[in-house]
Amino acid sequence: MGEQIQLGELTIEVVFKDIKNLHLSVHPPAGRVSISAPRRMSMDAIRGFAISKLAWIRQQQTKICAQEREPEREYIDRESHYLWGRRYLLSVVERDEPPAIEIRHNKLILGIRPGTDAAKRATLLEAWYREQVKLAVPPLVAKWELELDVKVARFFVQRMRTRWGSCNPEARNLRFNTDLAKKPRECLEYIVVHEMVHLLEPTHNRRFVALMDRFMPTWKQHKQALNRLPVRHEDWEY
Protein backbone atom coordinates (compact mmCIF):
# COMPACT_ATOMS: atom_id res chain seq x y z
CA MET A 1 0.00 0.00 0.00
CA GLY A 2 1.38 3.42 -0.96
CA GLU A 3 0.36 6.94 0.02
CA GLN A 4 1.80 10.44 -0.15
CA ILE A 5 2.60 13.24 2.26
CA GLN A 6 2.65 16.81 0.98
CA LEU A 7 4.85 19.30 2.84
CA GLY A 8 4.62 22.54 0.88
CA GLU A 9 6.14 21.78 -2.53
CA LEU A 10 7.75 18.56 -1.27
CA THR A 11 5.98 15.28 -2.06
CA ILE A 12 6.99 12.25 -0.02
CA GLU A 13 6.01 8.77 -1.08
CA VAL A 14 5.05 6.44 1.78
CA VAL A 15 5.23 2.67 1.39
CA PHE A 16 4.01 0.40 4.18
CA LYS A 17 6.05 -2.75 4.79
CA ASP A 18 6.53 -5.52 7.34
CA ILE A 19 9.31 -3.64 9.14
CA LYS A 20 9.83 -2.30 12.66
CA ASN A 21 11.39 1.10 11.96
CA LEU A 22 10.94 4.03 9.59
CA HIS A 23 13.37 4.29 6.69
CA LEU A 24 13.81 7.63 4.91
CA SER A 25 15.48 7.77 1.48
CA VAL A 26 16.36 10.54 -0.98
CA HIS A 27 16.84 9.15 -4.48
CA PRO A 28 18.88 10.42 -7.44
CA PRO A 29 18.79 12.01 -9.89
CA ALA A 30 16.19 14.62 -8.87
CA GLY A 31 15.96 14.04 -5.11
CA ARG A 32 12.74 12.02 -4.96
CA VAL A 33 11.88 11.29 -1.31
CA SER A 34 10.36 8.11 0.06
CA ILE A 35 9.61 6.67 3.48
CA SER A 36 9.19 2.98 4.24
CA ALA A 37 7.00 2.61 7.33
CA PRO A 38 5.65 -0.19 9.55
CA ARG A 39 2.16 -1.20 8.43
CA ARG A 40 0.41 -0.13 11.63
CA MET A 41 2.03 3.30 11.92
CA SER A 42 -0.34 6.23 11.49
CA MET A 43 0.12 8.83 8.76
CA ASP A 44 0.20 11.55 11.44
CA ALA A 45 3.20 9.88 13.08
CA ILE A 46 4.92 9.50 9.71
CA ARG A 47 4.21 13.15 8.85
CA GLY A 48 5.74 14.25 12.16
CA PHE A 49 8.84 12.18 11.42
CA ALA A 50 9.11 13.71 7.93
CA ILE A 51 8.81 17.25 9.29
CA SER A 52 11.59 16.55 11.80
CA LYS A 53 13.85 15.45 8.92
CA LEU A 54 13.14 18.33 6.51
CA ALA A 55 16.55 19.97 6.94
CA TRP A 56 18.31 16.65 6.27
CA ILE A 57 16.11 15.98 3.22
CA ARG A 58 16.96 19.39 1.72
CA GLN A 59 20.65 18.81 2.38
CA GLN A 60 20.59 15.41 0.64
CA GLN A 61 18.63 16.77 -2.32
CA THR A 62 21.20 19.54 -2.80
CA LYS A 63 24.04 16.99 -2.76
CA ILE A 64 22.32 14.66 -5.21
CA CYS A 65 21.43 17.36 -7.71
CA ALA A 66 24.97 18.74 -7.60
CA GLN A 67 26.69 15.38 -8.12
CA GLU A 68 28.48 15.06 -11.43
CA ARG A 69 27.16 12.52 -13.94
CA GLU A 70 29.21 10.43 -16.29
CA PRO A 71 28.68 11.28 -19.98
CA GLU A 72 26.58 8.79 -21.88
CA ARG A 73 28.82 6.03 -23.19
CA GLU A 74 29.13 5.12 -26.88
CA TYR A 75 31.70 2.32 -26.40
CA ILE A 76 34.04 3.55 -29.09
CA ASP A 77 37.82 3.94 -29.38
CA ARG A 78 39.53 6.37 -26.99
CA GLU A 79 36.48 6.74 -24.77
CA SER A 80 37.36 7.03 -21.08
CA HIS A 81 36.47 4.15 -18.77
CA TYR A 82 37.56 3.50 -15.19
CA LEU A 83 38.74 0.56 -13.13
CA TRP A 84 39.43 0.97 -9.39
CA GLY A 85 39.60 4.73 -9.79
CA ARG A 86 42.11 4.72 -12.62
CA ARG A 87 41.27 6.05 -16.07
CA TYR A 88 41.75 3.86 -19.15
CA LEU A 89 41.14 4.55 -22.83
CA LEU A 90 38.87 2.06 -24.52
CA SER A 91 40.34 0.23 -27.50
CA VAL A 92 37.81 -1.73 -29.53
CA VAL A 93 39.34 -4.66 -31.43
CA GLU A 94 37.13 -6.56 -33.87
CA ARG A 95 38.13 -10.19 -34.36
CA ASP A 96 36.43 -13.47 -35.18
CA GLU A 97 36.87 -14.83 -31.65
CA PRO A 98 34.77 -14.98 -28.48
CA PRO A 99 34.50 -11.59 -26.72
CA ALA A 100 37.28 -10.77 -24.26
CA ILE A 101 38.33 -7.81 -22.12
CA GLU A 102 41.78 -7.06 -20.75
CA ILE A 103 43.80 -4.20 -19.29
CA ARG A 104 47.02 -3.39 -21.13
CA HIS A 105 49.05 -0.43 -19.87
CA ASN A 106 46.64 2.55 -20.01
CA LYS A 107 44.14 0.84 -22.30
CA LEU A 108 41.03 -1.23 -21.72
CA ILE A 109 40.98 -3.66 -24.66
CA LEU A 110 37.50 -4.78 -25.72
CA GLY A 111 37.75 -7.68 -28.14
CA ILE A 112 34.47 -8.23 -30.00
CA ARG A 113 33.18 -9.95 -33.09
CA PRO A 114 32.68 -7.71 -36.16
CA GLY A 115 29.34 -5.90 -36.16
CA THR A 116 28.83 -5.98 -32.38
CA ASP A 117 26.63 -2.98 -31.56
CA ALA A 118 26.91 -0.51 -28.68
CA ALA A 119 24.25 -2.27 -26.60
CA LYS A 120 26.13 -5.57 -26.73
CA ARG A 121 29.42 -3.81 -25.96
CA ALA A 122 27.78 -2.24 -22.91
CA THR A 123 26.50 -5.64 -21.77
CA LEU A 124 29.96 -7.17 -22.08
CA LEU A 125 31.58 -4.40 -20.05
CA GLU A 126 28.84 -4.54 -17.43
CA ALA A 127 29.45 -8.27 -16.94
CA TRP A 128 33.20 -7.66 -16.73
CA TYR A 129 32.80 -4.96 -14.08
CA ARG A 130 30.50 -7.27 -12.11
CA GLU A 131 33.16 -9.96 -12.19
CA GLN A 132 35.81 -7.52 -10.90
CA VAL A 133 33.64 -6.77 -7.85
CA LYS A 134 32.89 -10.47 -7.33
CA LEU A 135 36.64 -11.16 -7.20
CA ALA A 136 37.42 -8.21 -4.93
CA VAL A 137 34.72 -8.70 -2.29
CA PRO A 138 35.56 -12.15 -0.76
CA PRO A 139 38.95 -11.19 0.77
CA LEU A 140 37.41 -8.02 2.20
CA VAL A 141 34.49 -9.95 3.70
CA ALA A 142 36.90 -12.50 5.20
CA LYS A 143 39.01 -9.73 6.72
CA TRP A 144 36.07 -7.87 8.24
CA GLU A 145 34.30 -11.00 9.48
CA LEU A 146 37.25 -11.37 11.84
CA GLU A 147 37.35 -7.68 12.76
CA LEU A 148 33.61 -7.38 13.40
CA ASP A 149 33.02 -10.93 14.67
CA VAL A 150 30.14 -11.46 12.25
CA LYS A 151 29.41 -14.01 9.54
CA VAL A 152 28.12 -13.24 6.03
CA ALA A 153 25.96 -15.93 4.49
CA ARG A 154 26.10 -14.78 0.85
CA PHE A 155 26.83 -11.73 -1.23
CA PHE A 156 25.54 -10.61 -4.60
CA VAL A 157 26.75 -8.09 -7.18
CA GLN A 158 24.24 -6.32 -9.39
CA ARG A 159 23.46 -3.07 -11.12
CA MET A 160 21.88 -0.73 -8.58
CA ARG A 161 20.53 2.69 -9.49
CA THR A 162 20.21 4.34 -6.10
CA ARG A 163 22.52 2.46 -3.72
CA TRP A 164 26.14 1.39 -3.51
CA GLY A 165 25.18 -1.58 -1.37
CA SER A 166 22.55 -3.11 0.88
CA CYS A 167 22.28 -5.61 3.72
CA ASN A 168 19.60 -8.06 4.79
CA PRO A 169 20.51 -8.61 8.46
CA GLU A 170 18.09 -11.50 8.97
CA ALA A 171 19.36 -13.51 5.97
CA ARG A 172 22.89 -12.14 6.49
CA ASN A 173 23.12 -11.37 2.77
CA LEU A 174 24.93 -8.42 1.23
CA ARG A 175 24.47 -6.76 -2.16
CA PHE A 176 26.96 -4.54 -3.95
CA ASN A 177 26.69 -2.20 -6.93
CA THR A 178 28.56 -3.31 -10.06
CA ASP A 179 29.80 0.27 -10.52
CA LEU A 180 31.98 0.02 -7.41
CA ALA A 181 34.58 -1.55 -9.72
CA LYS A 182 35.00 1.91 -11.27
CA LYS A 183 35.75 3.60 -7.94
CA PRO A 184 38.95 3.47 -5.84
CA ARG A 185 39.40 0.22 -3.91
CA GLU A 186 39.13 2.01 -0.57
CA CYS A 187 35.58 3.04 -1.56
CA LEU A 188 34.65 -0.60 -2.09
CA GLU A 189 36.11 -1.53 1.29
CA TYR A 190 34.14 1.27 2.95
CA ILE A 191 30.89 -0.04 1.44
CA VAL A 192 31.75 -3.61 2.49
CA VAL A 193 32.34 -2.46 6.08
CA HIS A 194 29.21 -0.27 6.05
CA GLU A 195 26.99 -3.16 5.01
CA MET A 196 28.66 -5.64 7.37
CA VAL A 197 28.21 -3.27 10.31
CA HIS A 198 24.49 -3.51 9.56
CA LEU A 199 24.76 -7.12 10.76
CA LEU A 200 25.48 -5.60 14.18
CA GLU A 201 23.12 -2.62 13.88
CA PRO A 202 20.42 -2.67 11.16
CA THR A 203 19.65 1.09 11.24
CA HIS A 204 21.70 4.24 10.76
CA ASN A 205 21.38 5.28 14.39
CA ARG A 206 24.01 6.57 16.83
CA ARG A 207 25.19 3.05 17.61
CA PHE A 208 25.80 2.41 13.90
CA VAL A 209 27.87 5.62 13.61
CA ALA A 210 29.81 4.71 16.76
CA LEU A 211 30.58 1.26 15.36
CA MET A 212 31.77 2.76 12.07
CA ASP A 213 33.95 5.24 13.96
CA ARG A 214 35.41 2.42 16.02
CA PHE A 215 36.19 -0.05 13.26
CA MET A 216 36.92 2.32 10.33
CA PRO A 217 37.86 5.80 11.66
CA THR A 218 38.36 7.07 8.07
CA TRP A 219 34.90 6.02 6.85
CA LYS A 220 33.57 9.57 6.51
CA GLN A 221 36.42 10.53 4.19
CA HIS A 222 35.72 7.49 2.02
CA LYS A 223 32.02 8.30 1.97
CA GLN A 224 32.73 11.89 0.91
CA ALA A 225 35.13 10.71 -1.80
CA LEU A 226 32.56 8.28 -3.16
CA ASN A 227 29.87 10.96 -3.18
CA ARG A 228 32.12 13.39 -5.06
CA LEU A 229 32.88 10.97 -7.88
CA PRO A 230 30.71 11.03 -11.03
CA VAL A 231 27.88 8.50 -11.10
CA ARG A 232 26.53 6.53 -14.03
CA HIS A 233 24.53 8.26 -16.75
CA GLU A 234 21.00 6.90 -16.63
CA ASP A 235 17.70 7.49 -18.37
CA TRP A 236 15.90 7.58 -15.03
CA GLU A 237 12.27 6.53 -14.92
CA TYR A 238 9.88 6.53 -11.98
pLDDT tens-digit series, residues 49-59: 999 999 999 98
125 pLDDT higher than 90: yes
CATH number for the domain spanning 203: value is: 3.30.2010.10
Nearest 10 degrees: Cα torsion 157, 162, 165, 171: -90
In a domain, 102, yes or no: yes
- Percent of the chain at pLDDT above 90? 73
68 pLDDT higher than 80: no
Whether residues 109 and 159 share a domain: the answer is: yes
In this predicted model, what pLDDT tens digit does every residue of 80-99 receive, in sequence order?
Answer: 999 999 999 999 999 999 99
Last residue of a domain, one of 13, 35, 66: 66
Q: Which pTM does this prediction carry?
A: 0.73
166 pLDDT higher than 70: yes
> What local confidence, expressed as pLDDT, does residue 72 receive?
77
As a whole number, mean pLDDT of residues 63-91 equals 84
In a domain, 100, yes or no: yes
Whether residues 125 and 220 share a domain: the answer is: yes
> What local confidence, expressed as pLDDT, does residue 93 receive?
96
Whether residues 98 and 212 share a domain: the answer is: yes
- Percent of the chain at pLDDT above 70? 90
In this predicted model, what pLDDT tens digit does every residue of 194-232 receive, in sequence order?
Answer: 999 999 999 888 999 999 999 999 999 998 888 775 555
The residue range of the domain holding 62 is 2-66
138 pLDDT higher than 90: yes
> What local confidence, expressed as pLDDT, does residue 84 receive?
96
Q: What is the CA radius of gyration of the chain?
A: 20
Burial code of 45-57, b = ≥16 C-beta within 10 A, e = fewer?
ebbebbeebeeeb
Whether residues 120 and 203 share a domain: the answer is: yes
Whether residues 211 and 111 share a domain: the answer is: yes
Last residue of a domain, one of 66, 94, 112: 66
Whether residues 57 and 158 share a domain: the answer is: no
In a domain, 199, yes or no: yes
In this predicted model, what pLDDT tens digit does every residue of 29-49 receive, in sequence order?
Answer: 678 899 999 999 999 999 999
State the average pLDDT for the chain. Answer: 89
> Omega into 29 within 30° of 0, i.e. cis?
yes
- Alpha-carbon distance 113 to 202, whole Å? 47
Number of domains in the chain: 2
At residue 238 the predicted structure's pLDDT band, cuts being 50, 70 and 90, is very low
233 pLDDT higher than 70: no
> What local confidence, expressed as pLDDT, does residue 70 receive?
63
- Alpha-carbon distance 148 to 7, whole Å? 41
Q: Cα angle at 180 between 178 and 184, to 5 degrees?
A: 155
> What local confidence, expressed as pLDDT, does residue 227 receive?
74
Among candidates 165, 180, 176, 221, which has minimal Cα distance to 85?
180
In a domain, 52, yes or no: yes
Whether residues 98 and 29 share a domain: the answer is: no
In a domain, 7, yes or no: yes
> What local confidence, expressed as pLDDT, does residue 25 receive?
87
> What local confidence, expressed as pLDDT, does residue 234 receive?
41
